Amino acid sequence: MRMTRTKVVVFVTAMIFLSTFSFYGYQMLNAPNILSTHNGRISRSIVYLYIPKGATFKTVLDSLERHDALEDKLSFAFLAKLMGYQENVKTGRYKLHPDMSNKELLYMLRAGRQEPIQLVVPPLRKIDNILRWLDKQLMISAEEIEQAMQQWQDTLRSEGLDSTSYWCIFLPNTYEVYWDVPAPRLIERMLREYRRFWNEERRQKAKAIGMTPHEVMTLASIVQAETNKADEMPRIAGVYINRLRHNMFLQADPTVVHAVGDYSIRRVLKEHLTVDSPYNTYKYKGLPPGPIGIPTPQAIDAVLNYELHDYLYFCAKDDFSGYHLFAKNYNEHLRNARRYQRAVSQLLRKKNE
């Protein structure tokens, strides 16, 4: 009888232990533990977890703690060990939802199911800045991107690009990529986007105006630096094409700024015009060797679809709208320039009164 009671006690104790362990196991797997709103905690929005190259499980754990994302650190670490994640950390950018369970997060991290980023490529005035810009947005470094570009040189040359225009494959736009995309794969992706943009129709338009895509992008970069008004770009492009066809100096101030290398210059002076550089279009005829910035698709299309007219000159309008006055001869241009100079003088006088 006593033996039977002992067995019952052992059985009941075992069942209680098993039930408790099963309940804790279920809780550990399925209960909200990530950005949990339980226990009176304030509901929070989505958090992104970045796991860099060389990260360990401790790195992941520290990052989750910095975000105050874990309700129960011990259960997460224990389950991560059981699921083999602690020895299999993958890089990436991961989207953490409020009230995720340990199981949900670990399945996502172990499988490397990361959330892509929207890679924004702006119309950078200085081409070299693209490296620093990409370095800030992606896991890969500027050095890795530059090395990858070197590896792709032969392919880029076959596209009609050279060292002055390689970076123009990064056409200003927004691209969906993974944060940890390898540098060679990024270059491959951008080259694919570049080829898609420079389709047969655009290449034929470039050929019709006697330019290569490289030359079109060079002129587009100048047009873009002259105006931020998209509706005016085709007219300005037409001015420069007219000047090229008349064998005139382009006399584009933005190329002089590029030649000097001082992008803080607001007004090009006579001293700047003396710089001896193939980018100084006051000193050398024709297009400069390459783009002075990374042109937008809109600026490129403005050149390909330039406005047909007889204008050879332009200067800023005296209403400071950002638009320009256009002239067919130099005397008309001087009158327009004097109007603008008078407006600037009046504005300065009012500011000093």
Q: What is the average pLDDT score of the chain? A: 88
Please state, in angstroms and rounded to a whole number, the distance separating the CA atoms of residues 113 and 174. 21
What phi, psi does 170 have (nearest 5°)? -85, 65
Task: Write out the two tokens for 194.
Answer: 């570049």
CA separation for the pair 118, 133 (Å, rounded): 13
CB 283 within 8 A of CB 273: yes
- At 170, is the pLDDT very low, low, confident or very high (cuts 50, 70, 90)? very high
pLDDT for residue 350 is more than 90: no
Query: What DSSP letter does each residue of 308-334 carry, written as one string?
Result: P----EEEE-TT-SS-EEEESSHHHHH
User: Which of the pair, 138 or 341, is modelled with greater confidence?
Assistant: 138
Sign of the dihedral through C-alpha 236, 241, 246, 252: positive
| Mean pLDDT, rounded, for 258-269 | 88
pLDDT score, position 5: 57
pLDDT tens by residue, 234-256? 999 999 999 999 999 999 999 99
Helix segments in 31-171, DSSP class H: 57-66, 73-82, 102-111, 129-137, 142-151, 153-158
Kindly state the DSSP code that residue 267 receives in the 8-state scheme. S
pLDDT of 23: 38
Q: Tell me the average pLDDT across 328-345.
A: 91
What is residue 26's predicted lDDT score, i.e. its pLDDT? 45
Residue 187 has pLDDT above 90, yes or no: yes
Distance CA 341, CA 347 (A): 10
As to burial, measured by CB atoms within 10 angstroms (0-12 exposed, 13-18 middle, 19+ buried), residue 137 is: middle
The mean-pLDDT minimum among 59-73, 105-119, 189-203, 218-232 falls in: 59-73
From 314, 338, 316, select the one nearest 326 (Cα to Cα).
314
Crossing angle between the packed helical segments 2-30 and 102-111, to the nearest 10 degrees: 60
Indicate whether 17 pLDDT > 50.
no
Are the CB atoms for 25 and 74 separated by under 8 Å?
no
Query: Against a cut of 0.75, is the pTM above it?
Result: yes
Question: What pLDDT does residue 292 have?
Answer: 95
Only one residue has tokens 């670990």, namely 106
